[in-house]
Structure 1
Amino acid sequence: MPLKTDVQFSIILYAMLAGILTGAMFDLYRIIRGSNVNKIVIAIEDILFWILAAMAVFTFLLYTNYAFLGAYVYIFMIISLTLYIRFISNICIKFELKLISASGKMFRVIFKNFIYPFKVIFHNITGKNN
């Protein structure tokens, strides 16, 4: 029995979202990996990333459309991933770098404010600045 039109539309929509999710994960992976790494290490990291990405996409599709994996699901995932990398990836990488920088700054400020009372107590007890 053929699937209803709304079910087919939701399967295509979730396949496209899975492609975009994979692209965003790949951008984050590229930021974390860096560029000055040995080729063998890059190959191993790439294999591990794609295994993780396949598990994440399968889990996403399992929860959203019961892991219906027809040929057009793969086609739309590849199309959306290609469009994401072609047009949106550079914008997302810049946004992710700013987000990482801002969260790093926020973590440093919170850490310094948390440590400050202990520094004051240490200074009062020992008379040293460290």
Structure 2
Amino acid sequence: MVSPEIWQQGQLFVQAVFFGIAMLFVYDLLRIFRRVAIHGTVWIAVEDMFFWVISAFVLFQFLYQENDGKVRGFVILGMFFGMLLYGKSFSCIVVRSGTFLLKKICGGVWWICQTFMKPVRILMKPIGKSVQRLYRTGKKSNRYVKKRLKKLWKAVRMSLCKL
């Protein structure tokens, strides 16, 4: 017969293994997002920092609830084992299939938006030309206002210099 304390520690180890698997799965979701929405190194570093800080808080909460906040080596070992198990077996498949699926979904949404926006673009074409004409006349009026302000500023400066 196994003592209840050893049984509880065994359950904690199994929970730590599943926690490690879950943590790496969430990181894989982040990797999928990175492959679909490509962005720079700084942004990736910020994402990683937030992920690991949040993971540390969640791990602390897990240890606090399950083991009264005591950090045990076998819990860390269980998390490492879970991450290793998931990373070597399913991670590659999840990232590849998730990226493929999300790219297809985004491509489908993009195609639907383009299809529905085509009539709107055709209707907006004449309006766009008139807006361009207004913009050009606005540039001319901006030049006129700028010249007038320069002349006024010169007059003010000359008046101030005479004082």
> Aligning the two structures, in what range does the TM-score lie when normalised by the shorter sequence?
0.5 to 0.7
Residue in structure 2 matching 1:37, options 40, 44, 56:
40
Asked if 1 retains the 8 angstrom alpha-carbon contact of 2:21 and 2:82, the reply is yes
User: Number of matched residues?
Assistant: 118
Q: Who is 1:13 aligned against? A: 14
Q: Distance in 1 between matches of 2:54 and 2:101?
A: 23
Q: Who is 2:24 aligned against? A: 23
Asked if 1 retains the 8 angstrom alpha-carbon contact of 2:33 and 2:99, the reply is no
Q: Who is 1:67 aligned against? A: 66
Unaligned 5+ runs, structure 2: 126-163
Q: Who is 2:140 aligned against? A: none
Residue in structure 2 matching 1:3, options 1, 5, 14:
5
Asked if 2 retains the 8 angstrom alpha-carbon contact of 1:22 and 1:57, the reply is no
- Structure of greater Rg: 2
Asked if 2 retains the 8 angstrom alpha-carbon contact of 1:18 and 1:77, the reply is yes
Normalised by the length of structure 2, the TM-score is 0.53
1:19-78: CA deviations, max 9, x gaps?
Answer: 00111011111222346523x43333221111122233444x26xx82324210011101
Q: Distance in 2 between matches of 1:43 and 1:107?
A: 29
Asked if 2 retains the 8 angstrom alpha-carbon contact of 1:20 and 1:81, the reply is yes
Normalised by the length of structure 1, the TM-score is 0.63
Superposed displacement of residue 18, structure 1: 0.5
Q: Identity percentage over the alignment? A: 23
Distance 1:96 1:57, change over 3 A: farther
**In proportion to residue count, which structure has more helix?**
2
